[in-house]
Amino acid sequence: MRERKIELMDNKISRRALICGAIALAVGVTPEIAQAAVPAQGITKRKDGKLDLNLAKNPALKKVGGAVTIDLTDGTSVAIVRTAAGVAGLTVINLSCTHNGVTVMQNGNQWLCPAHGSQFTLAGKVVQGPARTALFKYPSTATLKTLTIG
Ligand code: FES
């Protein structure tokens, strides 16, 4: 399995997010977005480098299809997605398109790449290319209150 660091960045709007938003507006993606991921709240970094996410502070994750995002220091973003009910129903993926690294955006029940049109399921599997591989998935464990990433 590939390794990927999960270094937390301030949860402000990143330059990359602004650029992707501008691209999305230019290609007309935004009007079709039924649901959009929101910045995660209640994140703490543990001594072992893993991140803990307080689930009570992220109501978007109560409903299947809900997603929250975390910006990392490497300029990429991570999404925590509710893909099913229960503690095993959370998936953590990196939002860098596996075709050429552009940040994908939530478009209803899929992630859409504004660069060349790749589409992924909410869990990160390829639905449509040119991307050929799934979005990077981080290991995670959950309790009723906390999701631990890394
Ligand atoms: S970078 Fe995403 S489809 Fe090309």
In a domain, 127, yes or no: yes
Query: To test the ligand 1 pocket, which listed residue (103, 112, 113, 120) has its Cβ within 8 A of the most ligand atoms?
Result: 113
**pTM exceeding 0.85:** no
In a domain, 8, yes or no: no
In a domain, 122, yes or no: yes
Tell me the C-alpha to C-alpha distance, in Å, between residue 147 and each of 4, 45, 90, 118, 122.
Answer: 18, 12, 8, 28, 18
Cα of 102 vs centre of ligand 1, distance in Å, is: 6
Round to whole Å and give the CA distance between 92 and 68: 10
- Domain containing 57 equals 15-149
pLDDT digits (tens, 9 = 90+) for 108-130: 899 999 999 999 999 999 999 99
In a domain, 5, yes or no: no
- DSSP letters for 101-120: -PBPEEETTEEE-TTT--EE
Cα of 114 vs centre of ligand 1, distance in Å, is: 7
pLDDT digits (tens, 9 = 90+) for 55-77: 999 999 999 999 999 998 888 89
For 21, the token pair is 């938003």
In a domain, 4, yes or no: no
In a domain, 6, yes or no: no
> What average pLDDT does range 131-147 have in this prediction?
95
Round to whole Å and give the CA distance between 101 and 111: 13
Q: State the CATH number of the domain containing residue 134.
A: 2.102.10.10
Strand partners, 119: 112, 128
In a domain, 144, yes or no: yes
In a domain, 7, yes or no: no
